Amino acid sequence: MTDTATTPRQRFAIVDIARGVAIIAMAAYHLCWDLSYFRFIAADVGYDPAWVLIARSILAVFLFLVGVGLVLGHGKAIRWRRFWKRWAFVVAGALAITVATFFAFPQSFVYFGVLHAIALFSILGLAFVRTPLWLAIAVAAVVIALPFVYSDALFNEKAWSWIGFWQVPPPTNDLVPVFPWFGVVLVGVIATRLALASAWAPRLAAIAPTGRLPRVLAWLGRWSLLIYLLHQPILLGLVYPAAQLFQPQLAMRGADFLRSCQSTCGAGGTAPGLCTTYCQCGLEGVEANDLWNAIETGMVTAGEQAMLDAQNRQCSAVIYPELNAPQ
């Protein structure tokens, strides 16, 4: 593999468009995460299984395209100057995210997120752009499959969690470990090498949509790294002031109370309809007696505990009238 600035680089418009779609999807997901974090929406974007699936799907597309880009940019000859320039930009972005999240979310800051992973995976992936294809396939299969059959508590620690064999992941807002995600980059490498070696390569290279939307998507795709770095600060710069102004958590806390109450009530064996009535009664009591601080902090005075006990008896009597029957 040689370093030459004159080596022609294949550029596929369809790849730029795919990157553009992916960065829009990523920005949309992060907007929903921000809205969830600041309680504008009830969905738990960080933990709800459907949202987790969406996040992982977007991540898989991004990492697949990293593999695609490695082959298209360096498959014929490693363009070291271009590679290190882009790599330094990615590393700088990763460090910036670590520093920013450390101050914003000290308990869950990002220490090995998407950009950290892309920086490492880009170096590792270069080794497979011209190796025998069977080797790339074998390594990809092992990297993807191994976390499903092996784990160890050692990798629960932050110092080792970036490898990926944890049993319980450490708290962080973004973690993209080597296993299995480097395997997705290799899948992109493999797919691109197969495509370029096939009769489909000229047809794929000839795809050049001329409409406004494809051109916009392709432009976004070419600047996807810069957009990734800038979109979240911009979104937070809009959502955070709005949260301070509109206080959505105050409007959402009633829904949170009902959801938690009904879950606890149902777990105790009470019928869903009765739980709904009981929890609505409890919510009305909390609001009427201004008990939100006690509910949210768990710091309950003797007077507040007395009100909560009386409220519990009253709401229990609503769904079980026999409790009010004279003895």
In a domain, 96, yes or no: yes
Give yes or no: residues 191 and 275 share one domain.
no
Q: How confident is the model at residue 322 (pLDDT cuts 50, 70, 90)?
A: low
Q: Is 195 in contact with 204 (CB distance < 8 Å)?
A: yes
By CB neighbour count within 10 A (0-12 exposed, 13-18 middle, 19+ buried), where does 199 fall? exposed
Give yes or no: residues 18 and 89 share one domain.
yes
Give yes or no: residues 125 and 161 share one domain.
yes
User: What is the C-alpha separation between 136 and 129, in angstroms, rounded?
Assistant: 8
How much of the chain exceeds pLDDT 70, in percent? 95
Where b means 16+ CB within 10 Å and e means fewer, 153-185 reads eebeeeeebbebbbeeebebbbbbbbbbbbbbb
| 99's tokens | 């520093």
The pLDDT of residue 283: 87
* Type of residue found at 113: G
Give yes or no: residues 242 and 283 share one domain.
no
Q: How many residues are recorded in the chain?
A: 327
Considering only residues 316 and 191, tell me which one the structure prediction assigns the higher pLDDT.
191
**Last residue of a domain, which of 189, 212, 246?**
246
305 by DSSP, 3-state: which?
helix
Angle subtended by helix axes 212-222 and 224-246, to nearest 10: 100
Angle subtended by helix axes 224-246 and 248-267, to nearest 10: 90
Domain count across the chain: 2
The pLDDT of residue 260: 84
Residue 8 scores a pLDDT above 70:
no
Where b means 16+ CB within 10 Å and e means fewer, 95-131 reads eebbeebeeeeeebbbbbbbbbbbbbbbeebbebbbe
Domain that holds residue 318: 248-324
The pLDDT of residue 290: 84
**Last residue of a domain, which of 225, 246, 267?**
246
Residue 296 scores a pLDDT above 90:
no
User: What is the C-alpha separation between 111 and 101, in angstroms, rounded?
Assistant: 9
User: What is the C-alpha separation between 39 and 41, in angstroms, rounded?
Assistant: 5
Give yes or no: residues 125 and 233 share one domain.
yes
In a domain, 5, yes or no: no
In a domain, 35, yes or no: yes
Considering only residues 241 and 3, tell me which one the structure prediction assigns the higher pLDDT.
241
Lowest-confidence range among 27-41, 88-102, 244-258? Answer: 244-258
Q: How confident is the model at residue 120 (pLDDT cuts 50, 70, 90)?
A: very high
In a domain, 3, yes or no: no
Considering only residues 113 and 318, tell me which one the structure prediction assigns the higher pLDDT.
113
Tell me: cis bond preceding 180? Omega within 30 of 0 counts. yes
Give yes or no: residues 235 and 284 share one domain.
no
In a domain, 67, yes or no: yes
3 by DSSP, 3-state: which?
coil
Mean pLDDT score, 142-165: 96
The pLDDT of residue 262: 87
Closest CA to 20 of 234, 222, 230, 231: 222
Give yes or no: residues 240 and 270 share one domain.
no
